[in-house]
With several copies, the nearest count.
Chain A
Amino acid sequence: MAETTYLEAIRQGIAEEMERDPRVFLLGEDIGALGGPFRVTEGLLDRFGPTRVIDTPVSELAIVGAAAGAAHMGLRPVCEMQFIDFIACAYDMITNYVATARYRGGLSTPLVIRGPSGGYVRGGPFHSQNPEAAFLHTPGLKLVCPATARDAKGLIKSAIRDDDPVLYFEHKYLYRRVKEDLPADPEILVPLGSARVARAGHHLTVVTWSAMVWKALEAAERLDREDGLSVEVLDLRSLVPLDDAAIVASLQRTNRVLIAHEDTRTGGMAGEIAARINELAFEWLDAPVRRVCAHDVPLPYAPPLEDYILPQAEDLVAACRWLANY
């Protein structure tokens, strides 16, 4: 067992699936000789050759469209968006073509679209986005956002094996900052749609995912130390399908819930979760469902501005205190 970074975990997961299933292949910009800007696919061209690691023109829409066509025929393409922000260029293809293919015409379209997402890295407005809300809304797409190395590996493998299109949003801040001992087990699989209790607690629940999980854990630690508050951190891991049962179960234990995400607030995932909690467990609420999210502005570049606009651990601390005192 060796320490594996979040980034290596993704690479391992992809490589293992390519090894296991000859139908799996990769396409994206600069994923071959370069290995992608963050080196997620480093070494895979050498290992699997240019018919399974395909460098494409700068054409996100064509990458996804071509992946869809190949997927209809039984292949299992994994597309890289060089930065996940550019997934916007393939929005029509993803939402109108890929997402609807099975429903419209029984076309199986098992593909994965993955790429570096998220902020806290001074990337400015176009290299820091979390585009989950843009796709959450389209029936037919699954959506996962790992926070740990283990989940990064387990979810990429499950995503590749899934028979539906899966958007896999990896967080670039975690790439090399998060590592853990992973068994050399090629069957680390994390099922889509299952949340994980990242830390158990009984005073209140923070529902979150991706990089924000680490901020929530930091906040929980501090609240424990400074306030004697026991905060449960629920790492959703998948946004679609959403593990409603895990959210409700946690809420039933704590009766207070904070939803935290890095993306901007209005129209974000937190709204959906708040509505579901109302529908599924209203009577268990001892305080309003509250959100901690980025401010509703494009993400600025200057460090103090980025830090101000994005939610930080101390914001979670403050919000948890507010909820606990309610």
Chain B
Amino acid sequence: MPSSRSTAGPQPLPTDLSATDLLALYYYMRLTRVLEERLVALHRQGKVVGGLFRSLGQEADAVGSAYALEPGDMLSPLIRNLGSMLVQGATPLEVFRQYMAKAESPTAGRELNIHFSDLERGFLGQVSSLGTMVPVMAGITLYFKLTDQPRVGLVYVGDGAMSTGAFHEGLNFAAVQRVPLVVVCENNGYAYSTPTRMQTAAARLVDKAAGYGLPGVRADGNDVVATYEVTREAVTRARAGGGPTLIELVTYRRKGHAEHDDQRYLPAGELEAWEQNDPIARYRDRLIGAGWAGVEDLGREDARVETEVDGALARCIDEPFPAIGTALSGVFADPPAAEPEWYRALPGAPSDRRAGEPPHG
């Protein structure tokens, strides 16, 4: 959601981004990274209840693409789209609470990591089954279309998730219905241990677009401005009734699939090469090199990130887990809660005796 155009700095600003926007992109990428680093520490301390999934090296693709949305638009993230959720307004406090399964977490301790939603702020949490969110987001954007609202949806899929039937059915449905949905494929080289060439024989993932009758574009996923620009164009087309676009953002997952993954399957040197292509370092250099921001500006953003993350963590670290009684409510709207099982609410005596009869045996 770019603010109005401005022209400060020696080089012209890229596309429709203002200096404020450029700093915001930096801020969100830093926030993603610092937040995840704190989570790593919490994970080592056993405070993160389940697994931890990093997006190290992918911050640009998440942040830049989400930044192309407007208020009222909706996105559905994947596990490596913490940055996208932060852009949409998810807070570090919420994220800490989720990972630590706190009572006050957005899902009240029911779901893990960043699997949480806020339709108001515009994000719909994923489920684990890969590909699922593509048809669901096709439905959300079908709603936009049916009700004639100029709103757009964005859904992420990994190189692995593109092999699922759900991806195929959902993208085809969206294409036929011409709903305002942008599909961003994050090609980060791996699905867990499986390299992209063992996931598909296609030369490029974006080659799938034509098979759905869609425009396809490919961009450098480690260039936050580029990810913003290609997504922005697709978002604009979608909003104008031009239907979905398939975007491939080429990036790299620098950490294992999850914290416990030692990446034994990586070819030698590959990781090191990508370390030289860190999206935050690259962007920082570019901001300074182009004169779009000063070292002090970035320092201010860095400090702000630290303060926010520290504040959020301090606030929730000692919060309690949810109370057990809460676990039974909300499977249905009606009835609002399930009964506790009989062996928990122990009846003093069997309640089903035939009146006046002696018990058996």
Chain B associates with chain A: yes
Give me the interface of A with B, judged by CB distance under 8 Å.
Answer: 25, 29-30, 32-34, 37, 51, 54-59, 61-75, 77, 82-83, 85-86, 88-89, 92-93, 96-97, 100, 102-108, 122-127, 139-140, 142, 162-164, 241, 255, 265, 279-284, 286-288, 290, 292-293, 295-298, 300-305, 307-309, 311, 315-316, 318-319, 322, 326
| Beta-carbon contact of B331 and A296 below 8 Å | yes
In the complex, how many angstroms separate the beta carbon of B341 from the nearest chain A beta carbon?
6
Which of A58, A89, A163 has the most C-beta atoms of chain B within 10 angstroms of its own C-beta? Answer: A58
| Beta-carbon contact of B140 and A73 below 8 Å | yes
| Beta-carbon contact of B146 and A70 below 8 Å | yes
Closest 5 pairs (CB-CB, A-B): A69-B139, A65-B135, A302-B109, A66-B139, A126-B128
Q: Kindly identify which residue among B112, B328, B352 contacts A280, using a CB–CB cutoff of 8 Å.
A: B352
Q: Kindly identify which residue among A69, A127, A305 contacts B128, using a CB–CB cutoff of 8 Å.
A: A127
Q: Chain B residue with minimal CB distance to A95?
A: B129
* Complex Cα gap A304–B294 (Å): 49
26 contacts across the A-B interface (CB closer than 8 A): A29-B194, A57-B176, A57-B194, A59-B172, A61-B169, A62-B169, A65-B132, A66-B139, A66-B142, A69-B140, A71-B139, A72-B139, A92-B166, A93-B132, A100-B127, A107-B124, A122-B101, A124-B110, A127-B128, A283-B353, A287-B361, A301-B107, A301-B110, A301-B111, A303-B49, A308-B324
Give me the interface of B with A, judged by CB distance under 8 Å.
Answer: 49-50, 101-103, 106-112, 115-117, 119, 124-125, 127-132, 134-143, 146, 160-161, 163-166, 169-170, 172-173, 176-177, 191-194, 198-200, 261, 264-265, 321-324, 326-328, 330-335, 338, 340-344, 346-347, 350, 352-354, 357, 359-361
| Beta-carbon contact of A305 and B119 below 8 Å | no
Collect the chain B residues with CB atoms within 8 Å of residue A295's CB: 327-328, 338, 340-341
Q: Kindly identify which residue among B191, B192, B328, B343 contacts A297, using a CB–CB cutoff of 8 Å.
A: B328
* Complex Cα gap A114–B81 (Å): 31
In the complex, how many angstroms separate the beta carbon of B138 from the nearest chain A beta carbon?
5
Collect the chain B residues with CB atoms within 8 Å of residue A72's CB: 119, 124, 136, 139-140
| Beta-carbon contact of A30 and B169 below 8 Å | no
| Beta-carbon contact of A103 and B331 below 8 Å | yes
In the complex, how many angstroms separate the beta carbon of A170 from the nearest chain B beta carbon?
19
* Complex Cα gap A286–B350 (Å): 13
* Complex Cα gap A62–B168 (Å): 9
* Complex Cα gap A293–B340 (Å): 11
Collect the chain B residues with CB atoms within 8 Å of residue A123's CB: 50
Given A93-B166, A255-B361, A70 and B140 contact (CB-CB distance below 8 Å):
yes
* Complex Cα gap A83–B341 (Å): 27
Q: Kindly identify which residue among B116, B134, B143, B194 contacts A105, using a CB–CB cutoff of 8 Å.
A: B116
Collect the chain B residues with CB atoms within 8 Å of residue A77's CB: 139
In the complex, how many angstroms separate the beta carbon of B319 from the nearest chain A beta carbon?
11
| Beta-carbon contact of A30 and B132 below 8 Å | no
| Beta-carbon contact of B109 and A301 below 8 Å | yes
| Beta-carbon contact of B111 and A104 below 8 Å | yes
In the complex, how many angstroms separate the beta carbon of A5 from the nearest chain B beta carbon?
17
In the complex, how many angstroms separate the beta carbon of B190 from the nearest chain A beta carbon?
10
In the complex, how many angstroms separate the beta carbon of A157 from the nearest chain B beta carbon?
16
* Complex Cα gap A78–B346 (Å): 41
Q: Kindly identify which residue among A58, A66, A85, A106 contacts B135, using a CB–CB cutoff of 8 Å.
A: A66
In the complex, how many angstroms separate the beta carbon of A25 from the nearest chain B beta carbon?
7
Given A33-B264, A34-B192, A105-B117, A126 and B101 contact (CB-CB distance below 8 Å):
no
In the complex, how many angstroms separate the beta carbon of A194 from the nearest chain B beta carbon?
13
* Complex Cα gap A105–B361 (Å): 48
In the complex, how many angstroms separate the beta carbon of A1 from the nearest chain B beta carbon?
31
In the complex, how many angstroms separate the beta carbon of A137 from the nearest chain B beta carbon?
13
Collect the chain A residues with CB atoms within 8 Å of residue B146's CB: 25, 51, 70, 75
In the complex, how many angstroms separate the beta carbon of A232 from the nearest chain B beta carbon?
17
Given A72-B124, A305-B109, A322 and B346 contact (CB-CB distance below 8 Å):
yes
In the complex, how many angstroms separate the beta carbon of B73 from the nearest chain A beta carbon?
13
Given A72-B124, A139-B331, A302-B49, A65 and B193 contact (CB-CB distance below 8 Å):
no
Collect the chain A residues with CB atoms within 8 Å of residue B200's CB: 57
| Beta-carbon contact of B330 and A103 below 8 Å | yes
Collect the chain A residues with CB atoms within 8 Å of residue B109's CB: 300-302, 304-305
Collect the chain A residues with CB atoms within 8 Å of residue B342's CB: 279, 290, 319
In the complex, how many angstroms separate the beta carbon of A323 from the nearest chain B beta carbon?
10
